[in-house]
Amino acid sequence: MEILENHSLEPLNTFGLDVRARYFAEVRTIEELLQLFERFPPASVPHLILGGGSNLLFTGDYRGLVIKISLKGLDVTEETEDCVEVTAAAGEDWDAFVGQCVERGWGGLENLSLIPGQVGSSPIQNIGAYGVELKDHFVQLEALDKKTGAILILDKDACRFGYRDSLFKGEGRGRYVILSVRFRLSKRNHRLSLGYGAILAAMEQKGITEPTIADVREVVCDIRRSKLPDPAITGNAGSFFKNPVISLDRYERLKIKYPAIVAYPDPNGMKLAAGWLIEQTGWKGYREGDAGIHPLQALVLVNYGKASGSQLIELSEKVKASVKQRFGVRLETEVNII
């Protein structure tokens, strides 16, 4: 295991920001991770755990140790006629993992296709798309507690999942290193999640009347490719803002004033489409230097070349202010700002 100094993180974050780490190490085994913490105790040196670099925004150089997690492995933990529990190591590519599950006929994660990042990052954000969230098929995860040095098993309740939220973004922020994640998936009688209009419309266009999980994955990938920029070409971190959840009463009042408002039922009221709110305030396709809003998806902030993290944050704050002023709705940032 090599420890590098003043290491460039530009190829390791999907915004493509030209920032550096004071120290950098890539770990491929749990033993290497433990050795690294012995040499750089968390109490003495700031640590940043890096997965696919797809859900963070650097505001400048990182003046501590960046640890790239590259743990690999995929194991069937339990299996019956109806379902399978599969454990994936934290360093596995998320979409490749979803693809393997679909190829084996395991249903549950197909709606989460083409989300960038690694398996170990997925519980932190409780990733979700098209009516499905990670927590819906989550069993447990294995994590290293940096505070105690112990390796723990955390179940769904312990992870405190919420909308794009979890223990790891709240009081447990920075404390744990996720090592692996276990999921329970269906082998038969799987109920597809087809509630989003975009999926149904794509199925109809393709003439698919009895969709399979492979069909859902293909359609979701097509939709995401049509709306979201490829970070290999244009720097971005996917959706920059969360879809705000408001009370049903408040939604009804907005609906009277804005009949075309886009929203979806939520256990806590109604979830507004942040992209629609942003588009209505005129930001879609806007650009300030190399910082901009994607022309096809207003939820996505992009780096057209040499934008800094600070410039992207400044633009995001302007967007928030506009939405708040017009709709009285406060947008929250989905990406992690470092």
Return the domain boundaries, the chain. 3-69, 74-186, 235-337
**Out of 2.60.40.10, 3.30.43.10, 3.40.50.620, 3.40.605.10, which CATH number does the structure's domain 3-69 have?**
3.30.43.10
Q: Which of 329, 314, 303 is nearest to 294 (CA)?
A: 303
Q: What amino acid is encoded at 288 in this protein?
A: E
The architecture of the domain spanning 235-337 is Alpha-Beta Complex (3.90)
Catalytic residue among 85, 110, 164, 218: 164
* 3-class secondary structure, 328: coil
For residues 8 and 20, the answer to whether their CB atoms sit within 8 Å is yes
**What's residue 176's pLDDT?**
95
Catalytic residue among 113, 239, 308, 316: 239
CA–CA separation, 259 vs 281, rounded Å?
Answer: 16
Please say if 210 is a catalytic residue: no
CA–CA separation, 106 vs 233, rounded Å?
Answer: 32
Please say if 239 is a catalytic residue: yes
CA–CA separation, 276 vs 41, rounded Å?
Answer: 45
Q: How many other C-beta atoms can be found within 10 angstroms of the C-beta atom of residue 174?
A: 14
Please say if 38 is a catalytic residue: no
User: Helices (H), strands (E): how many in the chain?
Assistant: 9, 20
- Which positions ≥6 away from 146 have C-beta within 8 Å? 37, 42, 47, 174, 175, 176, 177
- Which positions ≥6 away from 30 have C-beta within 8 Å? 71, 144, 151, 179
Integer-rounded Cα radius of gyration of the chain: 20
Q: Which two tokens stand for residue 84?
A: 């399978």
- Ordered per-residue pLDDT tens for the chain, 338 residues: 899 999 999 999 999 999 999 999 999 999 999 999 999 988 889 999 999 888 899 999 999 999 999 999 999 999 999 999 999 999 999 999 999 999 999 999 999 999 989 999 999 999 998 889 999 999 999 999 998 889 999 999 999 999 888 999 989 998 999 999 999 999 988 989 887 778 888 888 889 989 999 999 999 999 988 888 888 899 999 899 999 999 999 999 999 999 999 998 888 899 999 999 999 999 999 999 999 999 999 999 999 999 999 999 999 999 999 999 999 999 999 988 99
- pTM over 0.85? The answer is yes
For the chain, strand residue ranges (E) read 3-8, 20-27, 47-50, 56-57, 62-69, 74-79, 83-89, 128-129, 132-133, 138-145, 151-155, 176-186, 235-239, 245-246, 263-266, 269-272, 287-288, 291-293, 300-303, 336-337
Sheet containing 83-89, strands listed edge to edge, beginning at the edge strand earlier in sequence: 74-79, 83-89, 176-186, 138-145, 151-155
Q: Helix 213-227 and helix 197-206: axis angle, to 10°?
A: 110
CA–CA separation, 76 vs 183, rounded Å?
Answer: 10
Decide whether 3-69 matches 74-186 in CATH topology. Answer: no
CA–CA separation, 288 vs 260, rounded Å?
Answer: 29
CA–CA separation, 246 vs 231, rounded Å?
Answer: 31
What is the CATH code of the structural domain delimited by 74-186?
3.30.465.10
